[in-house]
Amino acid sequence: MTSDLDYNLFKRKVKESFGLDLEAYKRQQMERRLRAVMERRGASDFRTYFSLIQKDTDLLNEFLDRMTINVSELFRNPEHFEVLEKRVLPDLLAKNKNLKLWSAGCSFGGEAYSLAILLDELAPTGKHSILATDIDEKMLARALEGVYYASEIRNVSKVRLSKYFQQTQDGWKVIDKLRRMIRFCRHDLLKDNFETGFHLIACRNVVIYFTDKAKSELYERFYRSLTPGGYLFVGGTERIHAHAQIGYENPYHFFYRKPEVF
């Protein structure tokens, strides 16, 4: 393993130069993710590697890509989206005509468009809004295009595919009606301010490399961003073990609810 001095200096320089705080990431996992690319670029230590990414934009972008997990598809974990469709969203819509949702760590937009499809099916006359954020600007650019390969829409039914997508030579393109529901923008979950008043926040398969302390702080910030009665939707490998201490209820697997105020 790299020396503490070498890695700590690297973290400080990355934060100062590029605004990315690696303190909240688990060191062992981060080193494992970076070691292969460092060796490929001929860097034997983090000091040398920092000099390389500081001078070469392509290497910097490669580094930033390694720091983010850009795995996505529409309706990932279909059984969880079924709970969202049959229970969570109907509960929210029974009390709110218009919903405000946030796809946090949206990657290239599959989750955000999945949410838009459900809202259009369940409450097509509502004036819903979806904020979709990610730290990776290249992924956000692809999300804005809204074009997906067959493997990325494998969980989309034929009915939904014909209704919400148009086939092009590049893939399947999301229709404009869904795109207008979503606002894509860059956002760093570890340092940027959070909007408030969300009825649902989906943050799935994003925090697996975060330290326990960073996760706890993030879930507390999500709690404050939810409206009373709102839900936090997490990934299939994630649990909030201390959810009750934060204030969440856990009505369904992978869904945590902020209690309503009476």
**What pLDDT digit, counting tens, does each position of 137-191 carry?**
888 999 999 999 988 999 999 999 999 999 999 899 999 999 999 999 999 998 8
Mean per-residue pLDDT, 78-84: 95
188-221 tens-digit pLDDT: 998 899 999 999 999 998 887 788 898 999 999 9
d(CA 105, CA 121): 24
CATH code, 78-257:
3.40.50.150
Residue 231 makes CB contacts below 8 A (sequence gap 6+) with 88, 92, 199, 200, 201, 255, 256, 257, 258
- How far CA 224 is from CA of 104, 201, 254, in Å, comes to 15, 11, 18
State the maximum Cα–Cα separation within the chain, in Å, rounded to a whole number.
Answer: 61
Q: CA–CA distance from 38 to each of 13, 62, 135, 153 (Å)?
A: 16, 11, 22, 33
| pLDDT tens profile 220-252 | 999 999 999 999 999 877 889 899 999 999 999
DSSP structure class, residue 152:
G
Helix (H, G, I), strand (E, B) or coil at 252: strand
Neighbouring residues of 46: CB distance < 8 A, sequence distance ≥ 6: 2, 6, 7, 9, 10, 38
Number of H helices, E strands in the chain: 12, 10
Q: What pLDDT is recorded for position 68?
A: 62
Which residues of the chain are in CATH 3.40.50.150 domains?
78-257
